[in-house]
Amino acid sequence: MPPLTHFYPSEIGTSIERLKELGYTADHLGKPLESTDQLVEMKHQDVILNNAGAEFVLRVSKFIDTLLVKYYKLDPFYKASAKEDLVGHCVVTLSPHTSTGFVGRIIGYEDVNVGLAHPYLISARRRNCDGDEDTTILMMDALINFSKHYLPTTIGGTMDAPLILAANIKPEEVDDEVWNMETDTEYTKEFYDKTMQHVPPGEVKVGMVESRLKSEAAYSGLEFTHGTSAEALKDAPKRSAYTTLKTMQDKIDMQFSLSDKLYSIDRADAAKRLILSHFIPDLMGNLHSFSKQTFRCVSCNAKYRRVPLIGKCTKCSGKLVLTISKGGIEKYLNTAINLSERYKLEPYIRQRIMLLKQEIETVFGAVGAAGDIPTKQFNLANFM
């Protein structure tokens, strides 16, 4: 979810009367809320969903009501016939690989293919607005249709499930990254003078959230230096270009194609970070896992540490296959080589990549322009 601290009622399709019922009685300047073109400061646990997600949430609400009536013999709860009927209802927001859900409230919808939330809520979920996906669950769905009995018993089975529900978010308890969010309406002359002196940012006094912690000022009055028009969300891209690209290679090519056009980007450093932080650990980890992998039956899914002497599944005589493929191991190898050569990275990194290439070739055979060099396959009978 991208961050949002202010919104125009006209952007989210919610009437002034409904917003007042939700506690939005004044705009960000303190004037009574009377027009959809007034800028309003967003409450820190409210969320704005996109229209595509709203239709899904509406269907879920109807399912919950049906479940309450026909299974639990209770009255329906949501009684929603349109997405607008869900405005004001509580949701649980959850980020991937975590086990704590945070209570939010729907205040409207927009056409951009993302959800919008306050920076405090995003930071509480341990996210930092860099494109990560998050989950929005209707509160009744989370309360009725969740049980630890549904969770897998495997490692990681408790992740991506709301084991804990946090009702209140306190700014002083969330990740301190959001404490650096500025709250001034303008920069002083001293600020610009300091920029010309190239002093460290920490030495320049700027109003930030950190100075407001543990006070009412942390929840309201978070101003900005540059505003946007009431049409900003409508005129914004509806979908991230990243989601339109099919393969990881396409995404990497597009990323560095853009980097080549930006003067402020150190392209060699970006390539180095990508290779050292992602490609090399991925190559090494997959190669290591390949040597310890199990074998799987394609028919009954039985797993074997070693292939049985009969060469097939002992339970159903099905075909056995590897659980880690060659393609999964070397998928980033050529990309890493190309990036290291394209940006002329230091010899140490290029040599590490070539060593990994040699290890892969030791296992699978050398790869040339014509593809894999044929190798003769032996079986156990050759040694008997």
DSSP string, 227-289: ---TTHHHHS-SS-GGGG--SHHHHHHHHHHHHHH-TT--HHHHHHHHIIIIIHHHHHHHHHH
Top mean pLDDT of 24-33, 241-250, 362-371 is at 24-33
Query: Which tokens go with 289?
Result: 């896992």
Query: Which tokens go with 280?
Result: 């090399």
With a cut of 90, say whether residue 246 has pLDDT above it: no
- In this prediction, residue 377 carries a pLDDT of 64
What's 380's DSSP letter?
Answer: G
- In this prediction, residue 371 carries a pLDDT of 44
With a cut of 60, say whether residue 370 has pLDDT above it: no
Interval 329-351: pLDDT, tens: 888 999 999 999 999 999 999 99
Mean pLDDT of the chain: 89
Stronger pLDDT, 150 or 45, i.e. the higher one: 45
With a cut of 80, say whether residue 273 has pLDDT above it: yes
Q: Which of these, 112, 55, 42, 104, lies nearest to 84 by C-alpha position?
A: 55
- Rounded Cα–Cα distance for residues 46 and 31 (Å): 21
Q: Are 372 and 365 in contact (CB under 8 A)?
A: yes
- Rounded Cα–Cα distance for residues 252 and 241 (Å): 12
CB atoms within 10 A of CB 147: 8
- In this prediction, residue 235 carries a pLDDT of 81
Q: Stretch 134-155: mean pLDDT, rounded?
A: 87
- In this prediction, residue 378 carries a pLDDT of 67
Least confident of 169-173, 233-237, 284-288: 233-237
- In this prediction, residue 327 carries a pLDDT of 83
Provide CB contacts within 8 A for 279, sequence distance 6+: 332, 333, 335, 336, 353
The alpha carbon of 122 is separated from its chain's Cα centroid by a whole number of angstroms, namely 11
Percentage above 90 pLDDT, the chain: 64
With a cut of 60, say whether residue 367 has pLDDT above it: no
Interval 187-217: pLDDT, tens: 999 999 999 999 998 888 899 999 999 999 9
Q: Are 107 and 116 in contact (CB under 8 A)?
A: no
